[in-house]
């Protein structure tokens, strides 16, 4: 198995690891996040807050920390090569402001729909407190760090050397949208558009930070507005 990932051609090695590694690591995360035994093993009890905290932190490990260890340990790619670096395009703040406003406008409409409220916010507590919001927002940040490291870091930057930017974006968006098919059709369709934008701006900026920050902002906006629009959820203790 290791021989397959350690081809003499560095571009082939990176492509193999990016494509197969992303599929394997995401699959392990996906199945473990749906295993009650796994969640209980790491402290995710009956509380919806503890359960989703375990699920999201496991995403950081399975999609971020573990792939990073293999990348560096077997000298497949450096963290800098997969976008975990200090690069920052001068226009990044402008893009963030424009896309944040667009995200807010879209979520003002989407978060009112029945399909959205059936899934979000993922923490299903009827009564929310500051602690609930802390776990919701920090959990999303941890999960998305692993998620963007794997998809916009390993998968995108790992496939570019062999197939080029256009094909790498196509591969990335195809896998990224398939990961959303278990959710509603609107989110799956939106993931195609978002995937293209995130990939293009990730390549342009040379790092994963733009995609990570925008994705976190999008998740936080969706969570907060879904909470506000949910008929069974309120802020404050009983």
Domain boundaries, the chain: 2-235
Tell me how many helices (H) and strands (E) the chain has: 13, 2
pTM higher than the cut 0.85: yes
Spatial separation of the C-alpha atoms in residues 156 and 170, rounded to whole Å: 10
More confident residue, 163 or 92: 163
| Mean pLDDT for the stretch of residues 183-210 | 85
Q: By C-alpha distance, which of 149, 150, 175, 170 is closest to 160?
A: 170
Q: Over pLDDT 90: what percentage of the chain? A: 74
What pLDDT is stored for residue 188 in this prediction? 72
CB 21 within 8 A of CB 154: yes
- Torsion angle of the four alpha carbons 198, 199, 201, 202, in this order, in degrees rounded to the nearest 10: 100
| Half-sphere exposure at residue 25, Cβ-oriented, CA atoms within 13 angstroms | 28
Q: Over pLDDT 70: what percentage of the chain? A: 93
Would you state the structure tokens that stand for residue 57, as one six-digit string? 């932190």
> Is 55 a residue whose pLDDT tops 80?
yes
CB 128 within 8 A of CB 44: no
Q: By C-alpha distance, which of 168, 166, 142, 144 is closest to 155?
A: 168
Q: By C-alpha distance, which of 115, 118, 146 is closest to 212?
A: 146
């Amino acid at each position: 198995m290791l021989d397959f990932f350690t081809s003499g051609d560095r571009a082939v090695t990176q492509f193999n690891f990016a494509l197969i590694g992303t599929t394997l690591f995401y699959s392990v995360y996906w199945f473990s996040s749906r295993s009650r035994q796994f969640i209980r093993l790491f402290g995710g009890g009956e509380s919806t807050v503890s359960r989703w905290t375990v699920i999201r932190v496991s995403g950081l490990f399975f999609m971020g920390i573990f792939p990073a260890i293999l990348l560096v340990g077997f000298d497949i790619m450096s963290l800098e090569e997969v976008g975990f670096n200090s690069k920052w395009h001068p226009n990044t703040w402008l893009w963030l402001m424009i896309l944040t406003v667009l995200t807010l406008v879209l979520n003002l409409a989407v978060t009112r729909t029945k399909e959205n409220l059936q899934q979000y916010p993922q923490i299903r507590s009827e009564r929310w407190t500051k602690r609930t919001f802390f776990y919701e927002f920090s959990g999303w940040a941890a999960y998305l760090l692993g998620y963007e490291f794997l998809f916009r870091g390993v998968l995108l930057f790992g496939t570019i050397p062999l197939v080029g930017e256009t094909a790498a974006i196509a591969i990335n968006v195809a896998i990224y949208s398939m990961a959303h098919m278990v959710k509603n059709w609107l989110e799956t369709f939106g993931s195609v558009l978002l995937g293209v934008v995130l990939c293009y701006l990730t390549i342009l900026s040379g790092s994963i930070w733009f995609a990570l920050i925008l994705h976190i902002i999008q998740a936080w906006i969706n969570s907060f507005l879904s909470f506000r629009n949910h008929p069974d959820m309120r802020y404050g203790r009983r």
